[in-house]
Structure 1
Amino acid sequence: MAPFDSVTARLILLLAETGSIGRAAEREGIASSAVSRRVSDLEARLGVVLFDRSAHGVRLTTAGEAYAGGCRTVLRSIADLDAIMDDFGSGQRGSLRLACTSSALTGRLPELLAKFAVRHNGIDIAISEMGAAKALLALDEGQADVAIVSDNYDFSRFDIRPFEDERVWVLVPPEHPLAAQIEPRKSVRFDAVLPHAIVGIHHAGSLNRLLVEAAEKSGVALTESLRVESFPALVRMVEAGFGIGFLRSTSLHLLAGTDLVCAPLAEPWAMRQLLVARRKSSPLSAAMKSFMALASETYLPSA
């Protein structure tokens, strides 16, 4: 068998994620034909079919699932080896790769990273903004050192620490019937907002999952007037009168310059945390140790 090819291995994982040769090629900045050729050459060398191909895209076969799992293991080991080598240095140089949700980037993370950069000006910081599920996948595959995500996911294979407390808020236009029930600095119950149409936020996001689960427990389905993919778009659509919306407290700055009325939800489940996570099996580089220590010493739990 030919030596392990990390470039092809990353392509296999990217194809498994996107289910499309075209999207994988676009993400990697190479021709679709080059992706197809690499996969075909690998299948010929291995003597197995890794992907079922159809007009709708590609999907891993059973053999492909096994090979993709091995690729993740090897790529994680390569990433871990890099981290170990970092520790052989003085700790003054290195890198820190973060996979973060938009909530993390609109909270205290930017100020924390600015403080970190001053203390460790030789550390290169790379930030990738993505949904929580993708951030944890990036962590799992060794593409990120640290992930900062909301707390309603499976963290059994990760080491986690609290990063920032945040509460879910409801926002409504001033002329909306619900606006009259919202008092300044007073919380509002979820069952009071459930009858009203909402502007939904991206389906795979943690906030949407949280709200859908809470509504299901209440026995009332959420009614969406429309769905958007970003929090700034949500604020604008609520402003335009398409319905009420929900934001985490870390995103309330987006209401600046609007006349929207807002209040925190009263239920205990609406008080959430952002967590900083890393793989339990990954070695702690000097950069990661410094970041985790700074995150812990500056975390202030809500009263």
Structure 2
Amino acid sequence: MLPFDPVTARLIVAIAQHGSIGRAAERENIASSAVSRRLSDIEARLGVALFDRSLQGARLTPAGEVYVAGCRDVLRRIEDLNTQMSDFGTAEHGWLRLACTSSSLSGRLPELLARYAAAHPGVRLDIQEMSAPNALAAIDDGQADIAFVADNNELTRFETGAFEDDDVLVLCSPDHPLAARLGSGRLISFDEVAEHEVVGVHHSGAMDRLLSAAAAATGRILGERVKVETFPSLVRMVEAGFGIGFMRSTSLHLLAGTDVISARLSDDWARRKLVHVRRPASPLSQPIKAFLTLAAGTYRNTG
């Protein structure tokens, strides 16, 4: 039987996170059969089942809940130890692991990382794009040093700092009834635009959740004529006249070369920010300190 090791811990946590041996194997770049054997081995050694397996996936048993919590703690301790050891060096060496949402990578983060890399060429950057829930899970599991997510996620257990303003915009085509109002340069309320057909994007994503909550608060149901998966597709469908759209201000560059008109929403909930997130108890290596200092020094609140 295989002994317990960090690889096993990561696999157990990945299975719990994804609810699937196959998806966990894909994330860890290991054959599904090898993951299944390793799981069976550890269950045989412990004498308990960690997961209930079925055609629908793998669901944690009560024993599995306890074991996964222990695995997460082990992984955090290992990564924290690595970070503490790197602190004996300087900001010029080591590595920086970032979990980034698409929102953050479409804003100022790439340029900031380029500045950081130029100033600290000896630091290895590990940058992974993922959804906000996965980015926060990476922080919880010690797989990332810093995550970048929108501030409408559940962040009470983390240490956070403002990184970039990311207000919600409403878009329309030049021949849309709202075109003159949006082109006036003034803020506009969600209630003024919500009666129009909408091009939806990213079901259950951060923007979708914001809009659904705003519509529910006013007793409205947004009329979605079409739904797309990406913001470039949304811009094209809005430009073609399929309805209004909503987009974050960090994606304004997507409007370049189009006739699409945009305006910021005036509602408080639409004044969104991207934040950087860490575990409060995790140590700060020199590379992490240097990056956070750079990020804080370049943040500008646009009011």
Q: Where on the TM-score scale, by shorter chain, does this alignment land: which range?
A: over 0.9
User: Which stretches of structure 1, 4 residues or longer, exceed 6 Å deviation after superposition?
Assistant: none
Corresponding letter in the other structure for 2:220: V
For residue 83 of structure 1, report the CA deviation from its aligned partner.
0.4
Corresponding letter in the other structure for 1:212: S
Aligned to 1:93: 93
Q: Distance in 2 between matches of 1:72 and 1:30?
A: 20
Aligned to 2:45: 45
What SS does the aligned partner of 2:166 have? strand
Q: Distance in 1 between matches of 2:62 and 2:189?
A: 48
Retained in 2: the 8 A contact 1:165–1:274? yes
Aligned to 1:220: 220
Retained in 1: the 8 A contact 2:2–2:38? no
Retained in 2: the 8 A contact 1:131–1:204? no
The share of aligned pairs that are identical, in percent, is 59
Aligned to 1:110: 110
Q: Distance in 2 between matches of 1:52 and 1:190?
A: 45
Retained in 1: the 8 A contact 2:76–2:141? yes
Alpha-carbon RMSD across the aligned residues, in angstroms, is: 1.6
For residue 123 of structure 1, report the CA deviation from its aligned partner.
0.7
Q: Distance in 2 between matches of 1:58 and 1:3?
A: 22
Deviates further, 118-127 or 229-238: 229-238
Judged with a 3 Å threshold, the aligned counterparts in structure 2 of structure 1 residues 204 and 141 are, in CA distance, closer, same or farther, namely farther
Aligned to 2:239: 239
Aligned to 1:69: 69
Retained in 1: the 8 A contact 2:199–2:226? yes
What SS does the aligned partner of 2:84 have? helix
Q: Distance in 2 between matches of 1:26 and 1:101?
A: 20
What SS does the aligned partner of 2:276 have? strand
Matched, 1:164 2:171: no
Corresponding letter in the other structure for 1:93: H
Q: 1:196-228: CA deviations, max 9, x gaps? A: 222222133222211111111111122222332
Aligned to 2:144: 144
Retained in 1: the 8 A contact 2:90–2:287? no
Aligned to 1:192: 192
Retained in 1: the 8 A contact 2:98–2:127? yes
What SS does the aligned partner of 2:251 have? helix
For residue 2 of structure 1, report the CA deviation from its aligned partner.
7.0
Aligned to 1:252: 252
Aligned to 1:120: 120
Q: Distance in 1 between matches of 2:29 and 2:154?
A: 32
Report the count of equivalent residues.
Answer: 303
Retained in 1: the 8 A contact 2:4–2:42? no
Q: 1:43-71: CA deviations, max 9, x gaps? A: 10011111111111111111111111111
For residue 106 of structure 1, report the CA deviation from its aligned partner.
1.5
Corresponding letter in the other structure for 1:186: R
Corresponding letter in the other structure for 2:262: C
Structure 2 length-normalised TM: 0.95
Q: Which residues of structure 1 form unaligned runs of 5+?
A: none
What SS does the aligned partner of 1:88 have? coil
Q: Distance in 1 between matches of 2:104 and 2:29?
A: 28
Retained in 1: the 8 A contact 2:2–2:42? no
Aligned to 1:286: 286
Aligned to 2:205: 205
What SS does the aligned partner of 1:10 have? helix
Matched, 1:78 2:59: no
Deviates further, 229-238 or 215-224: 229-238
What SS does the aligned partner of 2:246 have? strand
What SS does the aligned partner of 1:115 have? helix
Deviates further, 178-187 or 262-271: 178-187
Q: Distance in 1 between matches of 2:143 and 2:131?
A: 15
Q: Which residues of structure 2 form unaligned runs of 5+?
A: none
